[in-house]
């Protein structure tokens, strides 16, 4: 086994750390007040190639693999405790990867160069008002017509709606194309977002103040055949490749945010005094800290292994799709659970200040909580682990 990062990966991590400390961290307060990711941050990320970094080089991107994208995700997670910028980073990169892999040449030529420049954003629209986990219950329809598809339906609780409205882009969207066939009748279509043609409702989130969230309804929208992603009726299998990439990135973001919170908490413990000594001297707090540090290190190693396995499988080596689904589910389950616990502990060590709106751990607690739901809930991660351990016949 070789845990060494390549020279390029190390350099990229250092560059992103430097950029984050200089350009992201000082602007978080401003972002929370304005409830919007500052343009300077988006522009800076685009300049470094971090938006659309998975887009192949021939379309102007970096062609980064999943592990390298995960290494950057951890840094972005450290830099923005609200998890707003990490959401933009992870959704855009994971789902534009899926288009790079399965999109038609025309879609890739028309879309990906702008994604690589940060001039368009790619999101995922799967969830509907009456279903999230259970994809087979979806009702949005894509009807095949000559030269394209007619799209009607409603998508709910979708990240980045305002960002995509303002910047441009659209969503990898999940549709029924053959409703009688259940999950064998699902297809993926890139649906450009056009607010004029959609009835949009924005939703206020518990955290992630700089990000945006909303639902939109549409009927009789027409897109060309070139918007189909992968084969018709094969969407159920393909969409999971996107979810797994996104889940691996969420795991790394959670580890980054938790590590930063533990550093903040440890620093506070060394400064704060109670009963005549620094609170860092109390073994009760030391043991909590040690437990959190150990768990986050284990979660990071598992997350990196899962992303490495993802890359291997994508290149046809060593692992099956099921091996990858299980390892990614383990990574997402432990990273998001343990990160939330670690951030909560770091908040606790900071006493009353920890509960105030000025404390980054208060922001992180609300932001990182979203990852126990988004891109597949905690329970669905456990179902995948159980399915791969017991056999799928035991899930019925």
Ligand X SMILES: Cc1cc2nc3c(=O)[nH]c(=O)nc-3n(C[C@H](O)[C@H](O)[C@H](O)COP(=O)(O)OP(=O)(O)OC[C@H]3O[C@@H](n4cnc5c(N)ncnc54)[C@H](O)[C@@H]3O)c2cc1C
Contact residues for ligand X, defined by CB under 6 A:
123-127, 131-134, 157-159, 205, 370, 373-377, 379-380, 383
Q: Which is nearer to ligand X, 56 or 168 (CB)?
A: 168
Computed over its alpha carbons, how large is the radius of gyration of the chain?
21
DSSP 168: -
Q: How far apart are CA 49 and CA 150, in angstroms?
A: 34
Q: How many other C-beta atoms lie within 10 A of the C-beta of residue 323? A: 16
What is the nearest approach in angstroms of ligand X to the Cβ of residue 345? 23
DSSP 131: B
For 21, 36, 225, 258, the CA distances from 75, given in Å and listed in that order, are 10, 20, 38, 11
Q: Which is nearer to ligand X, 174 or 279 (CB)?
A: 174
Q: Which is nearer to ligand X, 269 or 374 (CB)?
A: 374
Burial of 139 (0-12, 13-18, 19+ CB in 10 A): middle
Nearest alpha carbon to residue 247 among 324, 317, 361: 324
Q: How many other C-beta atoms lie within 10 A of the C-beta of residue 300? A: 22
What is the nearest approach in angstroms of ligand X to the Cβ of residue 76? 17
Q: Which is nearer to ligand X, 15 or 377 (CB)?
A: 377
DSSP 128: B
What is the nearest approach in angstroms of ligand X to the Cβ of residue 5? 30
Q: Which is nearer to ligand X, 55 or 374 (CB)?
A: 374
Q: Which is nearer to ligand X, 37 or 304 (CB)?
A: 37
What is the nearest approach in angstroms of ligand X to the Cβ of residue 303? 19
What is the nearest approach in angstroms of ligand X to the Cβ of residue 354? 23
What is the nearest approach in angstroms of ligand X to the Cβ of residue 90? 10
Q: Which residue is nearest to ligand X (CB)?
A: 132
What is the nearest approach in angstroms of ligand X to the Cβ of residue 237? 17
Which of 16-47 are b and which e, b meaning 16 or more Cβ less than 10 Å from the residue's Cβ?
Answer: beebbeebbeebbeebbeeebbbeebbebbbe
Nearest alpha carbon to residue 310 among 243, 260, 367, 376: 243
Tokens 């456990």, located at residue: 382
What is the nearest approach in angstroms of ligand X to the Cβ of residue 205? 6
Q: Which is nearer to ligand X, 20 or 159 (CB)?
A: 159
Q: Which is nearer to ligand X, 211 or 264 (CB)?
A: 211
Expressed in angstroms, the distance from the first to the final Cα of the chain is 38
């Amino acid at each position: 086994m070789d845990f060494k990062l390549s020279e390029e990966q190390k350099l990229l991590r250092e560059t992103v750390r430097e950029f984050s400390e200089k350009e992201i961290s000082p602007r978080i307060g401003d972002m929370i007040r304005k409830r919007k990711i500052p343009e300077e941050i988006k522009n800076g990320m685009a300049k470094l190639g971090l938006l659309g970094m998975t887009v192949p080089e021939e379309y102007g991107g970096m062609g980064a693999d999943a592990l390298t994208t995960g290494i950057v995700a951890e840094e972005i997670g450290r830099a923005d405790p609200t998890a707003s910028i990490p959401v933009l980073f992870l959704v855009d990169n994971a789902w534009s990867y899926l288009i790079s892999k399965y999109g038609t040449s025309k879609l890739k030529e028309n879309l990906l160069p702008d994604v690589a420049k940060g001039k368009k954003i790619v999101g995922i629209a799967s969830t509907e008002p009456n279903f999230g986990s259970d994809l087979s219950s979806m009702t949005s329809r894509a009807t095949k017509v000559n030269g394209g598809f007619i799209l009607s339906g409603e998508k709910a609780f979708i990240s980045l709606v305002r960002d995509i409205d303002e910047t441009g882009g659209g969503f990898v969207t999940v549709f029924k194309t053959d409703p009688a066939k259940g999950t064998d009748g699902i297809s993926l279509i890139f649906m450009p977002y056009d607010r004029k043609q959609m009835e949009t409702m924005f939703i206020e989130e518990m955290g992630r103040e700089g990000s945006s969230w909303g639902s939109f309804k549409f009927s009789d929208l027409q897109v060309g055949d070139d918007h189909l992603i992968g084969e018709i009726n094969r969407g159920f299998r393909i969409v999971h490749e996107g979810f797994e990439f996104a889940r691996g990135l969420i795991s790394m973001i959670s580890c980054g945010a938790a590590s930063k919170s533990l550093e903040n908490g440890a620093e506070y413990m060394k400064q704060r005094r109670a009963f005549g000594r620094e609170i860092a001297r109390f073994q009760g707090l030391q043991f909590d800290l040690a437990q959190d540090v150990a768990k986050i290190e284990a979660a990071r190693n598992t997350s990196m292994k899962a992303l490495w396995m993802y890359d291997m499988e994508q290149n046809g080596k060593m692992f099956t799709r099921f091996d990858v689904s299980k390892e990614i589910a383990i990574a997402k389950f432990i990273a998001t659970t343990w990160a939330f616990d670690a951030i909560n502990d770091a908040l606790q060590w900071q006493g009353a200040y920890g509960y105030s709106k000025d404390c980054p751990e208060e922001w992180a607690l609300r932001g990182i909580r979203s990852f126990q739901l988004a891109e597949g809930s905690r329970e669905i991660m456990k179902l995948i682990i159980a399915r791969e351990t017991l056999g799928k016949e035991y899930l019925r």
